[in-house]
Structure 1
Amino acid sequence: MHKFIVNQEALMKNVFIKDDTILASDENYENEETFLDKVNTQKKSFLDTHIHIKIKEITKFILEEKELAIQLFFKKGNKNSKTYFQFNDISEYTAVKEYFLYTTNFSLKKESSNSFSSWIKQALYTIIAFIMTIITFNMARSIESGDTVSISGGKRGLKRLMLLLAESLGTTNTIVVGSLVVMAFLYWTYTSYKKGKKEIEFYS
């Protein structure tokens, strides 16, 4: 393959592919001749990024057909890096995709990933509901034993509410209601976890 790509909307605005070499730049040099001169001689400004990749240095790539993009992972020495190529149309994307599939000889693999932020809030609410159930149960048990339950310290409004619930429900009903609330939060946490779980396809 011998291909020079210009996409001014992309992160890497120029991409050059020839044989086993991939060159890229986040600066648009407009044409292949100027691009090769700048990249091969490292004539760039302080903020410009030039990338040199050999096919043997590629460790993984992810195809994103809807975005007409390929996410490329590679290793130079002991350093793992990645870049993101975006293409102008489906034919350009397909040509580069076929090039990577043919030259790397990688096979399709899948892995699951999950966003921690998609369920952590729900998990915290579950823990809080469990703690409040235990506190309310202990209040109810003290009341049933004839002990006086005092309200002191901070968050008195919340403590008064739990005391009212303890007086109204008693120990048995506190456990029943508290368990139902905790189970509802657990279910919410589980469904949020499942929704946040994604299967990623990649070639390696």
Structure 2
Amino acid sequence: RKYLVKYGFVLDNDLVVESNPLGRLFGIGPEVPIIQQYGTHAITREMGGVSTLFPLTRSMSMVTPLPKGVSWDPLARTSEQSWGETNREELQRGVAKPDPADPKGPLTVAAVARKDKARIVVYGTSNLASNQFLNLQGNRDFFLNTVSWLAEEEDQISIRPKDAKQTPVFLNANQAQLVFLLPVVVVPGLVLLGGIVAVVRRRAQ
């Protein structure tokens, strides 16, 4: 941690909990924030509309004032409905709730810093690139873009074509609500309305 402080990083001693119900629609628990807010850095500049998963992540913040010669930029932030749980006992009991002392979202879970020719990227979790999560949504792009930037190969930064075998589609809250309403409310409602109209016409004849 002392090394990271030289580059402007403060790692918070917490576990980010996401209370936005979006993840639950896809079987993802609150310990796996779905990230949809990105910074304007080269690593994430093309990731608008792409979701990434940061399982079991801690949050981080910027040292103020920044050390001389350091530039620091957030890469990924959680939603406003998240918080950084600092009570380990509550986490172990599975009853975590936001306390006044807990940092509130949006929380930075990945950031980048530069000093002279040195480049450093810090994630709040090592699981983003694990076998379980690497191929989910934008995780592979996020990780490979990070590697390209660290290697000073910015021309390799992109959103790559998706494998047809790839996995769940994550929607924002409005999209998820629409997906729910169409098959559950709207379509049955139209069918019911059509049935009522048919009965009324038959009786009128």
TM over 0.5: no
Greater strand proportion:
1
Relative to the length of structure 2, the TM-score reads: 0.29
